[in-house]
Amino acid sequence: MFSVFLGMVGLLFVILGVVVTVVFDPLVNSFIFKELMIRNNSDMYKKWKDPPIVPHLQVYFFNVTNKEEFLEGDKPVLQEVGPYCYSVSYETQKFYFFERNSSVGSEDDIITTLNIPMMSAVSQWRFAARLAKLALSSMLEVLGTKPFVTKTVQQLMWGYDDPLLKIAKDIIPPDKRLPYEQFGFFIKKNGSTDGLLNVYTGVDDMTQYSTINTFNYKWKLHYWKTDACSPTLVSWPHFYQADPKYRRAVIGLNPDPDRHAMFIDVAPRTGTPLRAQARLQINIAIPYVPEVYPAANLREMIFPVLWFADGVAELPEDLIDLLRLGENTPAVAKLSMLLAFFILGSITVIFVVIAFLTTHYNLPVPYFNPSYTHKEGKTTKVNNTECPVHKADLSGHVNTLVSSNPEHDDA
């Protein structure tokens, strides 16, 4: 009966191990997902509303060091200048703050780069009638517009006056003109909003967690004429993983996967981003339009202007510890329970099986078959007790007058 009891205990341990294997992860995930759901006044809602992180924007400009030679047909020689670092703070509005200590220089540094408003106009007119191209050429000469501009970092970032943009609203069709009379890569972005985003909270479907549902109450954006987004001249920095022909067209690019690849580290169980860096390069397509005199000698190419890294390098240490606890503790607990249940269950089952076999086949195994029976029917107890020790006769001799039956001995 004791063996039967042990067998049931061992089987129970094995069953518990199987249950842990099947049920543990869904239960833990259910608990974690419940904590991640965005509900009013919950801890996750407070962190979502006021994130405990500070994103950083790092901008690198490509300074053209041989603009006169390039205008005569040589390859452009580019010098990477940066980073210029900005911390990003936002709730309903997004603000950028220049961080001098983390930057290579000040916002007063001088950069020579392509005149992007001019290049955009030339690109727009490249398929126009010859008369329209000649008119554009005359206008650029009258305005004194050149293919390159030399501006400060602050001007290139946040905007500078451009005469071409000011008169463009009277010449360029509304659907093709730029929305501002100034040009800057981040013009009107300081103090801007991202719009009204409606996202899934995970309450009804955790697979849609944090997915954008609508933007400014719209299901579909109308920035493009078709369902497919228009292609833009965006690449990874230094043309990393691009066709080598683009890199061969310029001098000064050195792609490095450690510095130029985009990456995101995600916690496997929760899907929480731990680190992320979006690294993108803005390029301008220079067309060959010989009718436009200021741009007549420019070679047709994809010209790198700047690249930037935007994201979060590291989460706060206390948040990392919390995420590490959520990732590692369930795995350690599950492994510990599985080892305990399967090891104890296996040992118990093995013990019962050996006891059954030794009893069933009448094997002389100590502890497992204490009442071993010989073939002749004689029963021998098999155990591990010590053999009796015979004490020595202390008299030193044997009394021959005493027989095995003392009552019949002579007096």
Q: Which residue has the higher pLDDT, 377 or 16?
A: 16
3 state SS for the chain: CHHHHHHHHHHHHHHHHHHHHHHHHHHHHHHHHHHHCCCCCCHHHHHHHCCCCCCEEEEEEEEECCHHHHHCCCCCEEEEEEEEEEEEEECCCEEEEEEHHHCCCCCCCEEEEECHHHHHHHHHHCCCCHHHHHHHHHHHHHHCCCCEEEEEHHHHHHCEECHHHHHHCCCCCCCCCCCCCEECCCCCCCCECCCCEEECCCCCCHHHCCCEEEECCECCCCCCCCCCCCCCCEECHHHCCCCHHHHHCCECCCCCHHHHCCEEEECCCCCCEEEEEEEEEEEEEECCCCCCHHHCCCCCEEEEEEEEEEEECCCCHHHHHHHHHHHHHHHHHHHHHHHHHHHHHHHHHHHHHHHHHHHHCCCCCCCCCCEEECCCCCEEECCCCCCCCCCCCCCCCCCCCCCCCHHHCCC
- pLDDT for 260 equals 95
- pLDDT at residue 264 tops 60: yes
Q: Which of 82-96, 194-208, 297-311, 329-343 has the lowest mean pLDDT?
A: 194-208
- pLDDT at residue 127 tops 90: no
- pLDDT at residue 101 tops 70: yes
- pLDDT for 302 equals 95
Summary mean pLDDT of the chain:
80
Q: Which residue has the higher pLDDT, 135 or 350?
A: 135
- pLDDT at residue 118 tops 50: yes
Tens of pLDDT, residue by residue over 22-60, are 888 888 777 777 777 777 777 777 777 777 778 889 999
Q: Which residue has the higher pLDDT, 233 or 392?
A: 233
- pLDDT band for 411, please (50, 70, 90 cuts): very low
**Highest-confidence segment of 2-11, 83-92, 178-187, 192-201:** 178-187
- pLDDT band for 72, please (50, 70, 90 cuts): confident
Task: Tell me the percentage of the chain whose pLDDT exceeds 90.
Answer: 30
Tens of pLDDT, residue by residue over 183-234, are 999 998 888 777 777 777 777 777 777 677 787 788 777 766 666 557 568 9
Give the mean model confidence (pLDDT) for residues 363-389.
Answer: 57
Task: Tell me the percentage of the chain whose pLDDT exceeds 70.
Answer: 79
Q: Which residue has the higher pLDDT, 171 or 297?
A: 297
- pLDDT at residue 75 tops 90: yes
- pLDDT at residue 378 tops 60: no
